[in-house]
Structure 1
Amino acid sequence: MKKLVSVLMAGTMALSLAACGSGKDNANTFTFANELDIKNLDSSDADDGMSFNAMHAVIDGLMDVDKDGKVTYGIAKEHTVSDDGLTHTFVLRDAKWSNGDPVRAQDFVYAWQRILKKSGNYAYMMGSDGAHLAGADELMAKNEAGSELTQEDLDTLGVKAVDDQTLVVRLTSPVSYFEELMTFPCYFPQNEKFTEEQGQNYGKSADAILSNGSFVMESWEPGSKAVFTKNEDYWDADSVKLDKLVMNLVQEPTVAAQNFDSGNNDYAPIDSDLVDKYKDNDAFWNVKSGFLFYVMPNLQNADLQNQNLRKALSLAIDREDFAQNVLKDGSIEANGFVPEDLSKGPNGEDFREDAKDFTTYDANAAQEALNQALQELGKSEVTLRLLYGTDESPMDTMATYLQNAFTKLAGLNIEMVATTKQDRIYNKEANGDFDLACTRWGPDYGDPTTYLYLMKTGNNNNYGKWSNEQYDALLNQVNTELDVQKRWDLMLQAEELAMNDYANIPVFQKGNTALLNPKVKDLVNQQVGTPFTFKYVNKEG
């Protein structure tokens, strides 16, 4: 049964905007500015949006997105699914790597095995928290137990190259959004010979990455600039209108906006401080993103194991005031842990519409909850460290707002811990060195589980160590439930359980504000997965 499902990713917008603004650059060059750097282009390791943007510019997966953000074929030209939904067969088209090698089914097998062998940041997406590949959970468990995975072990993973053009994938449970998953970078292929030759350098420089996609990376100066040129040997080269793609890296919004005004950027993100200046400009661009910003309590802290303390923190936040009067960038208050416009249920309703609202602002109730917590803890006051990254706007703005809100509660002291995003995640959060962490999550795919799995016991991103057997049991049922309505109801129940226990404290759903050159058409921006697709960008003369 041939099955090509065109799924409109939640919140996807194909940008075809008319704006007045910059445009000095060559008509066939698109210059994209961003506050963040590219971490690397290794799909077994990278886990940030900017790296995904760059990676997707040079690499196609089995599936891709079209101009409207809908799922379409990429390296695969045909996809069939068995009647029980457990076996997916992909037939690959004739495509080449930039060194001239053909793209083979084995390139996907190698890449998927490699991310598990390395315990990559997105290895969990191979198992029951993602694609449900047969054998993935067992391999991850063996790895976590300290056993190095052998090739014999890896060959038990449910992905096989029948021949150079045929890839067969076996699952443990049907996954309705499997095609959408295949657009996500952790499922991208890697050329085994080239990757092994590069070793630890793979994906860390322009010379250490191959392309099978729209562009070839010409140069990359970390922290400064990355330049890409059109891949003339790309299988879909006729769809690529640009000759060159330039990424200006680590440009803070004020500088990016100045460069936009002077014609040196075609796309420039701006923050809340610049919204009032540009909001009436025709170049002003604003959409809702899928990123949820939230506070993660560390339950290894004995005080934060007290539910009333976590409740007090949540009640003390005036989310509407923060989103509308401080950020002013289209952000909205978060009423739950699953954002708006992510996924629709069997009845066609958005998850947030079906779910309850779990957040409210009530300063008096917050103080009452804190008083109760202090009584239960036998303390007159509590001091908590609030961790945040200064290089991941508007995290610092959120942290300052939270500090002000929390310290209005008598008996609660807040110590601010400022650091970088990398240190926040990979050192302090990973090692449990925090009390409260300002963090965020962007959806990897258009299903509520991309958020709900974050609070499951043992999830790699559950740094706060909240754990609930009933919650885990609900998500295990979600993984195997074939009835779509029952599955939907189970996810609603799971969110309610976690939010009523203040497992995490949602604050706001991010809005994106930027300036966009009037000549730019068909820049695809997505709420789910890789933020931007540059393949179709057309810059008019």
Structure 2
Amino acid sequence: MKKKLSAFFALLLVASMVLAACGGKKEEDKTANEGEKPAQEAPAKKQVLNLLETSEIPSLDTTLATDSVSFRVMNNVFEGLYRLDQNNEPTPGMAESYEVSEDGKVYTFKLRDAKWSNGEPVTANDFVFAWRKALDPNTGAEYAYIMYDIKNAEEVNTGKVPVDQLGVKAIDEKTLQVELKNPIPYFLSLLTFPTFYPQNEKFVKEQGDKYGLEANTTIYNGPFVLSEWKHEQSFQLKKNEQYWDAQTVKLETINFNIVKDVATGVNLYETNKADRVGLSAEFVDKYKSDKNFKTKSEPVLFFIRMNQKNEVLKNVNARKAIAMGFDKEAMVATILNNGSKAANYLVPEGFVKGPNGKDFREENGDLLKFNAEEAKKYWEQAKKELGKDKITLELLNYDNDSAKKIGEFFKEQLETNLPGLTINIKQQPFKQKLDLENKMQYELSFAVWGPDYQDPMTFIDMFVTNGAHNQTGWSNAEYDKLVKDAKTTLLSDLQARWDAMVKAEKILLDEAVIAPVYQRGSAYLEREYVKGIVDHPFGPDNSYKWAYIE
């Protein structure tokens, strides 16, 4: 996600999330709107929101999706046991209440009376089916690891035990029981992530390989349904009249045009065909005094992946040279100009604080800064070790407007600062680019990762040996142990767990496994009559359940 709630949410948040820690207590959950901003009565104005998306939706199969575009749509057309509310707290979705055992390991959820968009009831088996499917090794779900807190999840996913041994079962149609390996105080937050959404077994099997690939080969249980999907052009959401909380949903229609060029998007906004548009550098100065101009900082990291199956990129000096060989400050100032920050790290600034009260970035500071002179030294050493004087590498890139400019910037900077290097750029549509990365069919790749949950681990465990999102071929036993300990033996010692993650980040960047580029900032225009869009700092980016046109 984003590319991209792992099983290990911020333990430092435990004190504020002890919802699950009261053994044997039955929790009659809050209504969906308790503690949230009160929804204003929407006037008679037509409830149609017109938005832009930069890429095609790769998939609406919750067990297979890994990207921010899919997650954004899923968050609005599906619903799990819980969803994030307007304050980014878990609020009841398909679950109406739950009980937790004395030892904190067994959750029993009572489901509300809810329906799929085809009128069939949402049942406990819909969750059992979907979760087993996600963990079935034959599915090949990249996000399967996110469920590893469930009893036998890892064993099922690695083929050691059959799927029916997974610690989840339907007691009856409206009662779901989930057994965990260890008590997890943040379990309700974990359940808001798309991989934990339900699927209707009968419908999915009827659709076969077509499930999740067309509007009419998918059914929905969220606030909206995907009513129209013109691939690579547009898609449309309509209010789901079958949704259990339909009275809260004000919008009738959300239209999305897929627009990869910023200038085209701005033109659509100016001609009243779009209500919100992101701005690139050349448009920020033009619109920064506009009453509808807005900015926000996000804990989203852009970086360059380096495939160590490549002979050159297996060399640590070559990787360090590339990571230090381009001027990030100049790039964010000239190409982006939208509040983005040059990044010399993996875990974003301002994302999360540790038990000691320090932001994660205060711990390690800057680790891979631009330094043309040092980069050249590393590069000369790498060429000597490789026995090469001329080297050509291919950069896999997105095909949208800003990514094209960034790719050209990398090429110019790296070819200038690293003598003998030639960079060829391969631009691909979003879905195809993800596929090439997954198959390790690339050399350098401009990539992005947004947090799935509010903890450093959502970035750090990406790079464990053979991790689903590692996609670099890198392996380090000490790194793997630090991550494993932070997920198991250190769960009861928050500071030691924090220190382990700090050390892991340093190892990763000392070896220049990736080349950090920038932390995303966003500048955008939004019509004054658009109200109530909820932007989430982790998990899927947006919720439209509470949005309306004033």
Q: TM-score normalised to the size of structure 2? A: 0.87
What secondary structure sits across from 1:434 in the alignment? coil
Contact 2:394–2:426 (CA<8 Å) still a contact in 1? no
Partner residue of 1:101 out of 120, 124, 137:
120
- The reply on whether 1:465 has 2:484 as its aligned counterpart is no
Q: Which residue of 1 aligns with 2:508?
A: 498
Alpha-carbon shift at residue 26 of structure 1 (Å): 5.5
Partner residue of 1:91 out of 107, 110, 126:
110
- The reply on whether 1:133 has 2:150 as its aligned counterpart is yes
How far apart in 2 are the matches of 1:410 and 1:195? 52
Contact 2:240–2:246 (CA<8 Å) still a contact in 1? yes
Q: Which residue of 2 aligns with 1:54?
A: 73
What code does the residue aligned with 1:243 have? E
5 Å-filtered alignment, 1:226-265, equals: 226-250=235-259, 252-265=261-274
Contact 1:132–1:173 (CA<8 Å) still a contact in 2? yes
Alpha-carbon shift at residue 40 of structure 1 (Å): 2.7
Q: Which residue of 2 aligns with 1:63?
A: 82
What secondary structure sits across from 2:299 in the alignment? strand
What code does the residue aligned with 1:489 have? D
Q: Which residue of 1 aligns with 2:496?
A: 486
What code does the residue aligned with 2:243 have? Y
Residues 331-360 of structure 1, C-alpha deviations (whole Å, 9 max, x = no match): 111121111233222233322233332121
Alpha-carbon shift at residue 446 of structure 1 (Å): 1.6
Q: Which residue of 1 aligns with 2:294?
A: 285
- The reply on whether 1:335 has 2:352 as its aligned counterpart is no
Contact 1:395–1:439 (CA<8 Å) still a contact in 2? no
Residues 177-202 of structure 1, C-alpha deviations (whole Å, 9 max, x = no match): 33222111111101111111111121
What code does the residue aligned with 1:291 have? V
Alpha-carbon shift at residue 205 of structure 1 (Å): 2.0
Alpha-carbon shift at residue 489 of structure 1 (Å): 1.0
Residues 10-38 of structure 1, C-alpha deviations (whole Å, 9 max, x = no match): xxx99x9xxxxxxxx95311111111122
Q: Which residue of 2 aligns with 1:417?
A: 425
What secondary structure sits across from 1:265 in the alignment? coil
How far apart in 1 are the matches of 2:343 and 2:210? 40
Moved more, 530-539 or 447-456: 447-456
Partner residue of 2:59 out of 40, 43, 48:
40
Q: Which residue of 2 aligns with 1:531?
A: 541
- The reply on whether 1:117 has 2:125 as its aligned counterpart is no
How far apart in 2 are the matches of 1:77 and 1:347? 36
What code does the residue aligned with 1:259 have? L
- The reply on whether 1:347 has 2:381 as its aligned counterpart is no
What secondary structure sits across from 2:305 in the alignment? strand
How far apart in 2 are the matches of 1:255 and 1:124? 34
How far apart in 2 are the matches of 1:524 and 1:177? 21
Counterparts in 2 of 1:371 and 1:158: CA distance versus 1, 3 Å: same
5 Å-filtered alignment, 1:252-331, equals: 252-331=261-340
- The reply on whether 1:385 has 2:394 as its aligned counterpart is yes
Q: Which residue of 2 aligns with 1:448?
A: 456
How far apart in 1 are the matches of 2:114 and 2:124? 11
Counterparts in 2 of 1:387 and 1:307: CA distance versus 1, 3 Å: same
Unaligned runs of 5+ in 2: 1-21, 31-35
Alpha-carbon shift at residue 498 of structure 1 (Å): 0.9
Contact 2:321–2:418 (CA<8 Å) still a contact in 1? no
- The reply on whether 1:406 has 2:406 as its aligned counterpart is no
Counterparts in 2 of 1:430 and 1:258: CA distance versus 1, 3 Å: same
How far apart in 2 are the matches of 1:530 and 1:410? 38
What secondary structure sits across from 1:394 in the alignment? helix
Counterparts in 2 of 1:221 and 1:118: CA distance versus 1, 3 Å: farther
Counterparts in 2 of 1:521 and 1:457: CA distance versus 1, 3 Å: same
- The reply on whether 1:433 has 2:450 as its aligned counterpart is no
Percent pairwise identity: 35
Contact 2:99–2:108 (CA<8 Å) still a contact in 1? yes
What secondary structure sits across from 2:508 in the alignment? helix
What secondary structure sits across from 1:317 in the alignment? coil
What secondary structure sits across from 2:322 in the alignment? helix
Contact 1:40–1:46 (CA<8 Å) still a contact in 2? yes
How far apart in 2 are the matches of 1:86 and 1:399? 48
| Displacement over 4 Å in runs of 4+ | 2-6, 118-121
Contact 1:452–1:495 (CA<8 Å) still a contact in 2? yes
How far apart in 2 are the matches of 1:226 and 1:78? 34
Partner residue of 2:525 out of 502, 505, 515:
515
Contact 1:406–1:412 (CA<8 Å) still a contact in 2? no
Unaligned runs of 5+ in 1: 7-12, 17-24, 144-151
Residues 199-252 of structure 1, C-alpha deviations (whole Å, 9 max, x = no match): 112122222222211122322222222222222232112211112222222353
Alpha-carbon shift at residue 131 of structure 1 (Å): 4.3
How far apart in 1 are the matches of 2:56 and 2:159? 33
Counterparts in 2 of 1:340 and 1:180: CA distance versus 1, 3 Å: farther
Q: What is the aligned-residue RMSD (CA, Å)?
A: 2.5
Contact 1:383–1:415 (CA<8 Å) still a contact in 2? yes
Partner residue of 2:159 out of 142, 150, 154:
142
What secondary structure sits across from 1:305 in the alignment? coil
Q: TM-score normalised to the size of structure 1? A: 0.89
Contact 2:56–2:431 (CA<8 Å) still a contact in 1? no
Q: Which residue of 2 aligns with 1:146?
A: none
What secondary structure sits across from 1:54 in the alignment? helix
How far apart in 2 are the matches of 1:68 and 1:384? 45
How far apart in 1 are the matches of 2:106 and 2:364? 33
Moved more, 456-465 or 278-287: 278-287
Counterparts in 2 of 1:218 and 1:435: CA distance versus 1, 3 Å: closer
Moved more, 164-173 or 295-304: 164-173
Counterparts in 2 of 1:410 and 1:293: CA distance versus 1, 3 Å: closer
Counterparts in 2 of 1:380 and 1:220: CA distance versus 1, 3 Å: closer
How far apart in 2 are the matches of 1:108 and 1:63? 12
What code does the residue aligned with 1:434 have? Y
Counterparts in 2 of 1:498 and 1:198: CA distance versus 1, 3 Å: same
Moved more, 105-114 or 355-364: 355-364
Q: Which residue of 1 aligns with 2:16?
A: none
Contact 1:96–1:102 (CA<8 Å) still a contact in 2? yes
Count of aligned residue pairs for this structure pair: 513
